[in-house]
Amino acid sequence: MGGWGPHMGGCLAQLDESLTQLDRSLTQLDRSLTWLDESLTWLDGSLAQLDKSLVWLDGSLAWLDESLAWLDESLAWLDESLAQLDESLMWLDKSLTWLDESLAQLDESLMQLDESPVRFDESLVWLHESLAGLDWSRIEHCVLGENGLTVLHKTAAASRIIVEF
């Protein structure tokens, strides 16, 4: 074995170095597998979180759909309320117009009221003169109403005296 000795020593050294490198590679592979295992654990956790997030997203979308339905209904109520407000404002405008007309009529009535004592006095004089000429034995009915005095005679062609105040 004399010839194999130096060559064998180099082979053993090379084998030893190869085994050392193999040992380092296996250690590195072991670390890589550990990292891969931890990464897979993190991936599982992330997928679980993603599943939860998707559940929350589904719930949120369901709430969003319901919220949009409520919003649509609320907007419909708002439109109806605005229409009622428009109608109320229209009636308020009409009421104010009627109030203005009523105030104008009241002013006119007050002005006529200032003239009324003179007309009332004239009406009383005319009534007195008209009643003085009546045959009271033939008076069937005499009514004082809102618009004046009505006198009915007993004859077929009843005469009426109407005095408007």
Domain ranges (residues) in the chain: 16-115
- Secondary structure class of 46 (helix, strand, coil): helix
Q: What angle do CA 68, 72, 77 make, to 5 degrees?
A: 145
pLDDT in tens, 77-115: 999 999 999 999 999 889 889 988 888 888 887 777 666
Beta-ladder partners of 144: 149
CA 22 to each of CA 13, 18, 19, 117: distance values in angstroms, whole numbers, following the listed order: 14, 6, 5, 135
* 56 pLDDT above the threshold of 50: yes
Of the candidates 157, 155, 123, 163, the residue with the CA atom closest to the CA atom of residue 139: 155
**28, two tokens:** 């590195």
Query: Residue 163 and residue 157: Cα distance in Å, rounded?
Result: 19
pTM over 0.85: no
- Secondary structure class of 135 (helix, strand, coil): coil
pLDDT in tens, 63-77: 999 999 999 999 999
